[in-house]
Amino acid sequence: MRLALVLFLSFNVFTASYLDYPHPYHPTQSDKGMVVSQNYLSSDIGADILSQGGNAIDAAVAVGFSLTATLPRAGNIGGGGFMLIYDAKNDVTVALDFRSMAPELASPEVYLDKSLNTHDYNQTRRSYKAIAVPGTVAGLIKAHETYGSMPLVQLIQPTIDLLNAGVPITQDLYWAMQDTEFLTLDDESKNIYLNDKAVIGGKIFNEDLIRTLELIQKNGRDGFYKGETAEKIEQAMIANGGLIRKPDLEQYKVEFTEPISIEYRDNKIFTMGAPSGGGVAILTSLNVLENFDLTNFQPNSAKYTHLLAEAMKYGQQSRSKYIGDPRFNEIPMEKLLSKEYAKLKSKNIKLKRATNVDKLTSRTHDLDKKYVESKDTTHYSIIDEEGNAVSVTYTLGYSFGSGVTIEGTGILGNNQMNNFAHEYGRNDSLRRSSSPANKLEPFKRPMSTMAPLIIFDKNNEIKLITGSPGGSQIPNINLQVVLNVLDFNLDIGEATMTPRIHQDSQNNNLLIEKTINEDTKRILTLYGHTIEISDTIGSTQSIHVIDGKNYGYADLRRPNAKVSIQQ
């Protein structure tokens, strides 16, 4: 009896001391530098640069080049994007616009289906004519010239080494290649991505891309925008009906700009301004939600999800009509980000009734069904030991871009010509496909939803670095991670993996991940929402800083992402 009692007490002591966890999504913790990207090999490359003494910008450049090999469907040197940089020494946050640009020969008439007198979307989505002037190489090099500390040669070499060894074909990469019809239309792409050896467990070899990267190593920006590579691009364009010429490449410029920002519950939110419409959408939604006490709600409750969806409608509306390339249009940014403007919007929200989007915009227009924003973008977040931070989102457009590998270069061409509003001029409409601010013009950059974020707390310390792919869903994906951290005090693992929604201002369908519970779905239907189920929404790569320690989390919604730590 005494032995039994001892065993009973020992068992209870043991079980009482057992460590439990609030959820299964555990962040990676470190007080050293950290890289979070959508590919494990690229994250390791970035962390290795930090370990060699490079700073966050050096690591960002290395990761940016590497993803063109490891994540060819989204990472790129043939596309463009946005970068936020926090310079800890000077305590300043800057934005870098390296968005793809329309070539001089581009005009609405070029893409006209003359038999139907309408825009031919096939021409802006696939083939050489879909390719806008790439900005990624110029952007990465400009960041390096301004803030980097290591030689450019060392930052590109890991990608060359990887290409020489062959890029491993994971199951995810294999199915992406098999599922992309555009690749089957281009001989160069088929030879690289759809050959007999392109199987799970096999490797991708791209000798032309190695040569292109070696020229950048040797000549910097000129190794891409002038000389041998530029000549090959122009020759391929002329031979295949493309529009880019050598002067387009030579004249391309990276734009350093001030990020847009707001104060939100004692936090300072920085994100990308125009031509990003995603940043405006996020900040507008936050301004609207600031008028509600979210401590009265629970994440994923029907009441909160409804309120969130209503705020998203106003955020998406802000980007639909007014955002375009600021060099061509006057953007009413002050009004769009006005707290008073948001307060007026918040008063229109009914807590138990969904707003019909037709009250926000004109009637649904069939042309908007053709205006499709691709989800195949990628994001990475980096912080170093000195507190410098980089948040980058960039894209080829669709998965594998236009499907074209530009002859002799190994470069996948983007299809960013698709992102202009090709049915512009309908002044009675707030629909994106008709936005005058985003109409196609030579040398113009199309509006984008990409919206990298860096957030500071009330003590001006970095709190969150995040971003996501997802096309039109990007602003709402990022918004939910921000709210989960700032309003609900979730750690970055749970903040990332909490089920997501997406509500646009272009239709009444509320897209929700299938993991949201049935009671919430039922109540949302009673509120008047039209529910549409999605498997997953987005793939955020985030770093959450708490008391000087970095907590990284790579979204599980897409495979092969990783948090890598400086050694």
> Domain residue spans in the chain?
28-565
H-helix or E-strand spanning residue 10: helix 2-16
pLDDT at 428 over 60: no
Angle at which helices 207-219 and 56-70 cross, to 10°:
160
Say what the pLDDT of residue 436 is. Answer: 75
What is the model's pLDDT at position 320?
67
- Round the average pLDDT of the chain to a whole number and report it: 91
Residue 134 to residues 2, 185, 448, 564, Cα–Cα distance (Å): 79, 21, 15, 28
- What phi, psi does 135 have (nearest 5°)? -120, -10
**pLDDT, position 120:** 78
Output 383-386 pairs: Cβ under 8 A, ≥24 positions apart. Answer: 383/33, 383/34, 383/56, 383/462, 383/465, 383/543, 383/545, 383/550, 384/33, 384/50, 384/54, 384/55, 384/56, 384/59, 384/566, 385/32, 385/33, 385/50, 385/566, 386/55, 386/88, 386/89
Amino acid at the residue 352: K
Strand partners, 378: 394
Q: What is the DSSP string of 402-434?
A: TS-EETTTTEEPP-GGGGS-TT---TT---GGG
Q: How far apart are CA 97 and CA 173, in angstroms?
A: 28
Contact 379, 470 (CB under 8 A): no
Q: Is the pLDDT of residue 401 over 50?
A: yes
Is residue 435 within 8 Å of 324, Cβ to Cβ?
yes
2 is in an annotated binding site: no
Tokens 């410029």 — which residue? Answer: 253
471 is in an annotated binding site: yes
The reply, when asked if residue 99 is annotated as ligand binding, is yes
Cis check: omega of the bond before 275, within 30 degrees of 0: yes
Q: How confident is the model at residue 368 (pLDDT cuts 50, 70, 90)?
A: very low
Contact 453, 467 (CB under 8 A): yes
Residue 18: pLDDT band by 50, 70, 90 thresholds?
A: low
Q: Enter the tokens of residue 505.
A: 């201002």
Q: How far apart are CA 170 and CA 41, in angstroms?
A: 12
Residue 363: pLDDT over 60: no
Both tokens of residue 50? 């930090």
Give the β-pairing of 389-395 and 501-503: unpaired
The pair phi, psi for residue 461, each rounded to 5°, is -105, 140
pTM passes above 0.75: yes
Tens digits of residue pLDDT in 408-424? 999 999 999 999 887 66
Residue 457 has pLDDT above 50, yes or no: yes
pLDDT per position as a tens digit, 232-269:
999 999 999 999 999 999 999 998 999 999 999 999 99
pLDDT per position as a tens digit, 378-400 = 999 999 999 999 999 999 999 99
211-240 pLDDT per residue, tens: 999 999 999 999 999 999 999 999 999 999
Q: Are 397 and 135 in contact (CB under 8 A)?
A: no
Residues 6+ apart with CB under 8 A from 280: 260, 273, 274, 315, 318, 319, 323, 333, 336, 337
Give CA–CA dist 295/546, Å, rounded.
21
Residue 74 corresponds to which tokens in the numbers above?
């989204």
Distance CA 536, CA 556 (A): 10
Relative orientation angle of helices 207-219 and 152-165, to the nearest 10 degrees: 170
What would the pLDDT profile of 55-97 be if each residue is shown by its tens digit?
Answer: 999 999 999 999 999 999 998 899 999 999 999 999 999 999 9
Tokens encoding 311: 């705020």
> Which among 377, 395, 496, 540 is annotated as catalytic?
377
- Residue 360: per-residue pLDDT: 65
Helix (H), strand (E) counts: the chain = 19, 23
Coil/strand/helix, residue 214: helix
Q: What is the largest CA-CA distance in the chain?
A: 95
**Known catalytic membership, residue 377:** yes
